[in-house]
Amino acid sequence: MHSFEELAVKFENHFNKRHFPSNPSTLYDAAQYILKIGGKRVRPVGVLMGNELFSEIQDDAFHVATAIELFHNFSLIHDDIMDKAPLRRGVETVHTKYGDSTALLAGDVMLVAAYEEINKIHSSKLHDILNLFNKTAKEVCEGQQLDMDFELKDQVHFEEYLQMITLKTSVLLAASMQMGAILGGAGAGNQDHLYEVGKNLGIAFQVQDDYLDAFGNPDKFGKQVGGDILANKKTFLLIHALDVANAQQKKELQHLLKGNDPDKIERVLQIFKDCKVGEWASTLKQQYFNLAMKHLEATAVLHSRKESLEKLAQYLLPRES
């Protein structure tokens, strides 16, 4: 069994190449740009780990992992356009550097490239992989639409936000692990458990991401701190603050959400601190982490084969702020 770090190196060696033609360079350089920014490659490595949990890693797993990473970056390009985000992983977003129109097309060709990778699979399990990939791709788009819809709503309930996050963020990690399990020959029950591992880790990761957007160090986080506040995003933190705030705090929050005061970020963050949303978010993150580990424990393979996934979960979540 390989560690996450070892598999990340294996995947990077496979993935680290130019994935697009040279011309027109105005399009394909933009598509290649976001891939050079890097990242932890958690989702594609999740494919490899899901595969290795049940068998030796198949060559097809690298095609699926590549498709997952290309799809993920397609979604990031389009999300950044919709969110008007200036930074991604500490550098200019594609639309900031190349313009909105080129960024849209770069995302489009990246999605096509993802399907080209899936088409390289020789396995008899291609049909199952493609069905899960298509289902997941639609869910990610549904989640992004819900995210935008929530910006226009005065109130979003916890359950609504949880559904949105599950679709937008968690299902891709969940599907990555299940696709790996499919290639590894896992039965339906084990596939379901591994999907739940990825889904609940994804939710826990998003709780942490919401926290870091508000309280994180931008030099370590690589994103504009307070971006969710400026965009009036209904995050785990804001939803909980509105639930527990006193009348005066709630009134001020609602006022800040409707306006664009120059000190908006600072004032919202102070209310978050007064409402102890950071402590609440830490507890919520642990709940979903524990649920993920419960499903991993229920997966019917030797415990020694699960250790790499356990270490991955611990690696993902205790991020510094």
CA 125 to CA 235: how far, in whole Å? 38
Instruction: Note whether residue 93 is domain-resident.
Output: yes
Instruction: Note whether residue 321 is domain-resident.
Output: no
The parent domain of residue 97 ranges over 4-316
Distances (CA, A) of 33 to 14, 26, 80, 124, 312: 17, 11, 14, 34, 27
Average confidence (pLDDT) over 102-114: 98
Distances (CA, A) of 276 to 196, 237, 239, 241, 283: 29, 9, 13, 8, 11
pLDDT per residue over 30-66, tens digit each?
999 999 987 889 999 999 999 999 999 999 999 999 9
SS3 content of the chain, % helix, strand, coil (to 5): 75, 0, 25
CA 253 to CA 241: how far, in whole Å? 9
- Label residue 90 by pLDDT band (50, 70, 90): confident
Instruction: Note whether residue 83 is domain-resident.
Output: yes
H/E element, 9 = helix 4-15
pLDDT per residue over 205-214, tens digit each?
999 989 998 9
The domain that holds 27 is classified in CATH as 1.10.600.10
Radius of gyration (C-alpha) of the chain in whole angstroms: 20
Instruction: Note whether residue 165 is domain-resident.
Output: yes
pLDDT per residue over 175-211, tens digit each?
999 999 999 999 999 999 999 999 999 999 999 989 9
pLDDT of residue 225: 78
Q: Do residues 295 and 200 lie in contact, with contact meaning Cβ atoms separated by under 8 Å?
A: yes
- Label residue 221 by pLDDT band (50, 70, 90): low
- Collapsing DSSP to helix, strand or coil, 294 comes out as helix
Tokens of 140: 């990610």
CA 290 to CA 250: how far, in whole Å? 32
Domain count, the chain: 1
Global pTM reads 0.90
